[in-house]
């Protein structure tokens, strides 16, 4: 009886507290997917450009959790929520159902999910306009290609990766309608994100067919693609973070998808009290996606290429060029 009274008192307190403050206490957290935070790819981008940068600016306040199994994904989210962590950012589309369940249970806390839409008022769904970024690197690939044949190697065959492929092909055809685009997917399960051997084999196959620029949107599998391209002396294009440094001289550019920045921004908004739930698109306009130019590839990008791709970029921003999003129709329309 006493216990029930205590619980009632506490819940009254918390309800009144949440009414008074409106926003929950700022206590940010992140849940990685099962690949872990040091996966050299997607999760690591969040860790390096999000968590570490936030720690440098505001101190080490971000709680992290790396689940070891499917069950722990939801459990980890719930445990962080029970501790009053907010906003909690879930990395990757695999968290979709878990975020939906836990965010419903804790309507006073803030959640965010990357690469997935969860339609709840206290969830920020952060999606990226990968088709726009891929369009730019596709255009660059077609400009750099001498054989008029370019390649795309995807990781796991899912709509998200087909979105990359579709944007890339559109960009290449925009520059040169004659260009031929080879497309391969590494596999159909998450293992396809970490198979550099197969990545290299696919790249070699495309090179033997004449491709001289290959874009890999394949997580850790890409490492094999870049190596094979370097061995054959053809260009490769990196993905997600700036991978130009990995094979300097043959890395034409990288398609940037700033997941770390997105996580950082979400935490910062919560800190400043401007955090809002709902749909958030990271595109060319707000710098969520982009192409990479740095010391490692400046010698490969001629002034003409640069001005042309910047022109295309401006046209996409202004709406003059509309890049078709594969996921809007589940098909690639050129």
Partner 1 sequence: MSSQRIPGWINYAVVPLANILMAFFVSALVFVYVGVDPIDAAKVMWEGAFGYSEGWGYTLYYATGFIFTGLAVSIAFHCQLFNIGGEGQAYFAGLGVALVSLYLGDVLPFWLMMPLLIIAAGLFGAGWAFIPAYLQAKRGSHIVITTIMFNFIAASIMAYFLVEVLKPPMSMAPESAVFPVSSWIPKMHDFLGAFGYEMTATPLNLTFIFGLICAVLVWFFLWNTRWGYEIRAQGFNPSAAKYAGIDPIKITLLTMAVSGMLAGFFALNTLSGDMHQLKLNYVAGFGFTGIAVSLMGRNHPVGIVLASILFGFLYQGGAELAFEFPGIDSKIIVVLQGLIILFSGALEYMFKPSIEKLYLKATGWRADKEEAQNA
**71 binding partner 1? (CB under 8 A):** yes
Q: x/- site string to partner 1, residues 140 to 159, per CB under 8 A?
A: -----------------xxx
Burial string for 81-92 (b: 16+ CB within 10 Å, else e) reads beeebbbbbbbb
**68 binding partner 1? (CB under 8 A):** yes
**132 binding partner 1? (CB under 8 A):** no
Looking at 2, 272, 330, 334, which residue binds partner 1 (CB under 8 A)?
Answer: 330
Looking at 2, 59, 69, 299, which residue binds partner 1 (CB under 8 A)?
Answer: 69
Tokens 């390096």 sit on residue: 48
Half-sphere exposure of 270 toward its Cβ, with a 13 Å CA cutoff?
Answer: 29
Looking at 41, 43, 94, 227, which residue binds partner 1 (CB under 8 A)?
Answer: 94
Q: x/- site string to partner 1, residues 7 to 46, per CB under 8 A?
A: ----------------------------------------
The C-alpha R_g of the chain, in whole angstroms, comes to: 22
Residues between 183 and 202 with contacts to partner 1, criterion CB under 8 A? 188-190
The gap between the terminal CA atoms of the chain, to the nearest Å, is: 68
Report how many residues bind partner 1 under the rule CB under 8 A.
27
**56 binding partner 1? (CB under 8 A):** no
Structure token digits, residue 105: 């249970």
Nearer to partner 1, 12 or 191 (CB): 191
Q: Which residues bind partner 1 (CB under 8 A)?
A: 63-66, 68-72, 75-76, 79-80, 83, 93-94, 96-97, 157-160, 188-190, 327, 330
């Amino acid at each position: 009886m006493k216990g029930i009274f205590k619980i009632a008192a506490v819940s009254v307190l918390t309800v009144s507290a949440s009414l008074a403050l409106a926003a929950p206490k700022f206590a940010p957290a992140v849940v990685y997917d099962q690949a872990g935070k040091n996966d050299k790819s997607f999760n690591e981008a969040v860790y390096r450009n999000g968590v570490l940068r936030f720690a440098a600016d505001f101190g080490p306040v971000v709680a992290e959790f790396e689940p070891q199994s499917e069950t722990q994904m939801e459990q980890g989210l719930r445990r962080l929520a029970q501790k009053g962590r907010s906003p909690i950012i879930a990395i990757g589309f695999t968290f979709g159902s878990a975020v939906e369940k836990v965010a419903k249970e804790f309507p006073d806390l803030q959640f965010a999910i990357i690469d997935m839409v969860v339609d709840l008022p206290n969830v920020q769904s952060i999606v990226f306009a990968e088709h726009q970024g891929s369009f730019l690197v596709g255009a660059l690939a077609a400009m750099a290609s001498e054989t008029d044949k370019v390649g795309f190697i995807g990781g796991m065959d899912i709509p998200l990766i087909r979105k990359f492929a579709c944007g890339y092909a559109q960009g290449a055809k925009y520059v040169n309608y004659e260009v031929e685009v080879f497309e391969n997917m590494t596999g159909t399960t998450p293992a396809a994100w970490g198979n550099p051997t197969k990545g290299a084999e696919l790249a070699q196959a495309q090179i033997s067919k004449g491709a001289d620029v290959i874009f890999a949107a394949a997580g850790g599998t890409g490492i094999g693609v870049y190596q094979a391209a370097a061995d054959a002396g053809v260009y490769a294009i990196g993905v997600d973070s700036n991978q130009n440094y990995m094979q300097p001289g043959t890395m034409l550019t990288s398609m940037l998808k700033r997941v770390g920045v997105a996580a950082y921004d979400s935490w910062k908004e919560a800190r400043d009290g401007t955090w809002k739930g709902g749909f958030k698109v990271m595109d060319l306009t707000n710098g969520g996606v982009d192409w990479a130019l740095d010391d490692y590839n400046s010698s490969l990008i001629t002034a003409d290429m640069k001005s042309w791709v910047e022109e295309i970029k401006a046209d996409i921003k202004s709406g003059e060029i509309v890049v078709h999003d594969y996921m809007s129709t589940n098909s690639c329309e050129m």
